[in-house]
Chain A
Amino acid sequence: MQKKNSQFTLKSYLDLAQLLKHYKGNHEENRVFALAQKSKGLKLVSLWMNKNLYRVVDELDSSKYLHYLTLLTSLFGFTVLLVGFFTGFTLLSYSGKEPVNVIYLLLVMVGLPLLSMGLTVLSMFSGNLGASFFNHFSPLYYLEKVINFLPFARKIDFSELPFSATLSKWIFLQRLQFFSFLFALGLFFSLVLTIVSKDIAFAWSSTLEIDPVAFQGVLATLATPWQSFFPSAVPSLELVEVSHYFRLGEKLDANMVQNADKLGAWWKFLAMATLTYAILLRLLLWFGIELGFKVQLKKEILVLEGVKKLLREFKTPFVSTQSKKLEQHLEIKEKPTLPASQTLADKYASLVAWNYTDKELLLLQDHNKIKVKSMDVLGGRNSFSQDKLIVDKLKGKVLFYVKAWEPPTMDFIDCLADVLEKDEVTKVEVCPLGTSTENYSSKESDIEVWLKKLEKLDCDKLEVIDV
C-alpha cells in the first residue's frame, strides 16, 4: 500500500505530468517550498505536486485513464475468475464412470502458470522489442485491442499520455499477474468446492509409457516445498501405482476399484500444488513486477519535462539582487527646446568661472582672450560669503564659464538664480567648456544636459553658448 505523499503511483505520475504542462513555478517559489520541507528528491516533488495540483482546472488525465484501467481490470478480472472457476469445474467433472486425470489438472494448475510466469520473466528482463514479442502470447493482449474500440476507451487520447513503451510494458505485466492470480484463484476455489461437494476419484493416464516410480519422483519433486510440514499432500508410490488408469473400453481396472477409497487422496497434492505454484509463486512474481514498475516509474518521473528543473530549483539557493522599492522614474526630455548660441561676444562686463581655480581661469582667458572688466571664480573652494561678494558686484553682461562635463548641480542653480535676480545684470551667458586636452571645446551631449537644466529657469536674460 502506498504511503501518502511519499511514493509515486501511476495516478500521481499522470497528475504530475499534467500539472507540469500548466505550471512549473519559479525558482523563488520552488526553493521556498523546498526549504519548508524536510523531504528531498522525488518525495519533495510529490509534496510539491500535492500542493499545486489545484492549479489544474481541466479534468485530470489520471481520473480518465485510471477509470478506464479500473473498468478494464474489473471486467477482465471478473471474466478471468469465472474462466478459472469453470475451467476447474470442467477439469474436475466426474461422472462416476471415469476418474479425473491428474495430468490434465497438473498441466492447467502448475504447467500453465509456470509457462506464463516464464514468459513474464522474459518480458521483464528483455527490451521493449522482446517484451512486445512475448506479450503477443497473452490472450489479454488481443482482448485489450478489442476493448480499445469501445466508446469509453476512445475518450482517452493515449498519445497525450506521457508513458514510454517500457512503462506501458510494466503496467501490462502488472495486470497480467493480477489476472493470472484471479484465474488460479478460480481454479483453486473450484477444486475446494468440488472436493467438498463431490466424491471424486483421481487417476493418472497418459499415452506415453510413464513408469509410476518416475512419475512419483516428479510429483515428489513438485511437492518439495510442503513435504516437510504437510507430508500427507505428497502422493506415495502406492497411490501412484493404484491410480494408474488405462482406458480400455468402459471398464475400470479391478485394482482401482479395490482401492477406490485411496483415489481421492490426490486432492491434497493438487490443492497444495495450485496454492504453491499458481497462487503463491504468482504473488511472488507480482511483487517483483511491482518493484520493477516502481523503479521504471521513478526513471520516467525523472525524465518528465520540467522535473529536472524542479529538482534543480529545490536544491539551488535562490539568489536575488533586486530592489524591493519601486524606482521613481524620471521622464527625461529627448532634446532641449532652448537653442544654444554658437558665438561668444567680444566684450563682457564680468566673467565668472564656476568651480574653476584662479590658475585655471587665467589659462582659460589666455586661450579664449575675452575682453572683460572683471574676472572671478565662484563655487569650488569659495565660501558662500566670498561668492556673495562676487555676485553682488556683477552687472551688465555676464559670462559664466562652467565645466561642460560636470552637470549643473543645485548649488550652481542657486548661484545663477542669485545673479539672474539682479536688475543690474542685463544678460547672462553660460558657456560650458571642455577639458584643456579637448581644447576647451565641449561635447554636444554635455551641452544638451546644460540646456535641458537651464531652460527650466525660463529666464530671457539667460543664454547658453556652445563654443
Chain B
Amino acid sequence: MSNYPKFAVVGHPNKGKSSIVASLALDNSIQIGNTPGTTQIKRGFPLTVDGEVVYELFDTPGFQRARRVFAWLEEHGDVSADKRIDIVRQFVFEHKESNKFKDEVELLEPILAGAGIIYVVDASKPYGAEYEVEMEILRWCGQPSMAILNLIGDEDYREDWTRALGQYFRLVRTYNPITAGHEEHLELLEGMAQLKEEWTKPIKKAIGVLDDLYDQKINNSVSTIVDYMVEVLSFIHKEKIKGEEVSDEESERAKRFYREKIVRYESEERVKIQTIWNHLNVQKHEGELDLDAVGLFSEESASIFGLSQKELVITGASAGAITGAGFDLMTAGHTLLLGSIIGGVVGGVGAMFGFDNLYEVKVLGQTIGKRELTVGPMQNLNFPYVLLGRSLYHASVIAKRSHAKRDDLNLENTSFTEKVMDASTRKELEKVHAKLRKGDELEKEELSAYQKIIRESFLKLLA
C-alpha cells in the first residue's frame, strides 16, 4: 500500500473543486464548467518526482444525494464514533454498482483509502444548512480534513462560513484558484501539511519540489527569451540574385521573407514559453508583430513595449560613451576623455537617426559570378525593445496565469506601462543589441550579463 499523502477535493457541485485541482496540479486541461456534474469520475493527480509520488490530489464529482446517503448511514450506523467509518465503507461497498449513488461512491472511495479531505465551498454566497449533511458524512469518514473558502463571486460571506466550517474541519483556508499564484499555492500546501503529522515531511518536500520547478520554469523562460532575442536581432536573410543589381522585385521578396521569418520566430517563442508553463492550449489574442506598421515604431506606441525616442537617444548616447570611455582607458586618459564625449555624441545622434531605420538591404560578395542579397540584421534601435517588451509581457502573463482559468488570453493590453528597466539597465542591453546589429558574436560573459538583466526584469513583472 502506498503511504504518500492523498487528498480528496470534495464538496457541493459547482463550487470550484476542479478549478482548485487544476490550479494545484498546474493542469489546464481539466474540464471546468458551471454545469453540475461536469466531473463525472474521480481522477488522481499525483505529484511525482522522477517517478516517485510525493502526494496525490483527487478531483471528485460533487455530492448529488447527500441527504439520502446520510439517511442510509444513520439507519445503519447506530454505532460508536470509531466504527462509523465502517458504516461508510459498507455504504460504498453496497452501492458500488448503483447508478443512483455513483457520484457519492466516487468521492468517498479515495477518502476511505486514506485520503485527507479538502472540502470546497463558495464563500461568495451565503451559508446554507443543506451543507451540514455533507459535512456530517465527511465527519463520519474520520479522516484529517480542511475546508477551502473559494470566492467565485463578488460578495464575501467568509465569516459565516468560517463559523460553520470550524465545527467540522481542523483548518479553514481561503484560496481562489483563479487568482492564486505560486505563493498562495505553497501556502495552501503548508496548510495541508498540518493535517497529519506523517504528511508534514512529504508535503514539505512537495513545497521544495514545486519551488524548484517554478525557478526552473523562470530560468527556462529567460533562456528562451534570450535565445529568441539573439536569433532575431542577428538574423540575416540571404538569397542569390540574378543580375548585377538587385531588382525591386528581388528586394521586396527578400524583405517579405525576412519579415515573415521574424514573425515566425516570435510565434515559435510564444509556443516555447507556453509549453514551459503548461499553457499550450490557451487561446490568445495578440496583435501580430508588424515590422512595417508605422504605429509600432511611433513614439507613442514605442513607450508601451519599446522605448520613446528620447529614451533611445539617452540609451544610445550612454552606450556610445561607454565605448568611448574604453578608448580613454586604453590610452590611460591621454585622450582627456574625448573618447567618451565623442562616443556619447555619436551614439546619441545615431539613436536619433536610427529611430526610423528598419533593416538594410545589401548586395554582398561576388563568388564565381554569383551575387548575394542580404536583408538584416534589423537596424532600428527601438526594435529590440519592442521585441523584448512583447516577449516579457507575454511570458509574465502566461507565468502568472492560473491553470484554473479557461478564458482567452488577451495580450492586446496597452496598459502595460511598467518600467521594468531603468536607464542603466537599458545601457547594458544596448551594448548587446548594438553588437547583434553589427552581426558580431557575443562573448560568453556578455550573454550571461544580458540573461541576468532579462531575468531581473522578468522577476519584476512576476512580482
Contacts and interface: CB of A to CB of B under 8 A. Distances in A.
A449 B36 contact: yes
A318 B48 CA distance: 8
A329 B130 CA distance: 28
B46 A380 contact: no
A408 B63 CA distance: 11
B88 interface: no
A407 B13 contact: yes
Contacts of B216: 316
B129 A381 contact: yes
Interface stretch (B26-34, B163-171, B312-320, B335-343): B26-34
Contact of B65 (A317, A330, A410): A410
Interface in A314-338: 316-325, 327-330, 332
Interface of A: 31-32, 35, 316-325, 327-330, 332, 355, 357, 379-381, 383-384, 403, 405-411, 414, 435-437, 445, 449, 452-453
Chain B CB within 10 A, most for which of A317, A318, A403, A408: A317
Given A323-B25, A330-B37, A330-B38, A409 B13 contact: yes
11 contacts: A317-B50, A319-B49, A325-B44, A327-B30, A330-B31, A379-B67, A380-B130, A381-B132, A403-B128, A405-B122, A435-B125
Contacts of B270: none
B35 A319 contact: no
Chain B CB within 10 A, most for which of A329, A384, A405, A409: A409
A384 B71 contact: yes
Contacts of B66: 409, 411
Given A31-B50, A322-B25, A403-B128, A449 B34 contact: yes
Contacts of B37: 330
A323 B71 contact: no
Secondary structure at chain B's binding surface: helix, strand, loop or mixed? loop
Contacts of B64: 409-411
Contacts of A325: 41, 43-44
B125 A318 contact: no
Secondary structure at chain A's binding surface: helix, strand, loop or mixed? loop
A324 to B, nearest CB: 8
Interface of B: 12-14, 24-27, 29-31, 33-38, 40-41, 43-51, 59, 62-68, 71, 100, 103, 122, 125-126, 128-130, 132-133, 153, 155, 209-210, 212-213, 216
B9 to A, nearest CB: 13
Contact of B209 (A319, A323, A330): A319
A81 B321 CA distance: 59
A108 to B, nearest CB: 40
A288 to B, nearest CB: 25
Contacts of B14: 406-407, 449
Nearest to A452: B35
A320 B210 CA distance: 10
A318 B210 CA distance: 11
Chain B CB within 10 A, most for which of A325, A445, A453: A325
A403 B40 CA distance: 23
B33 A330 contact: yes
A355 B128 contact: yes
A327 B129 contact: no
A414 B68 CA distance: 10
Contacts of A453: 35-36
Nearest to B128: A355
A411 B71 CA distance: 12
B458 to A, nearest CB: 18
Contacts of B35: 330, 332, 407, 449, 452-453
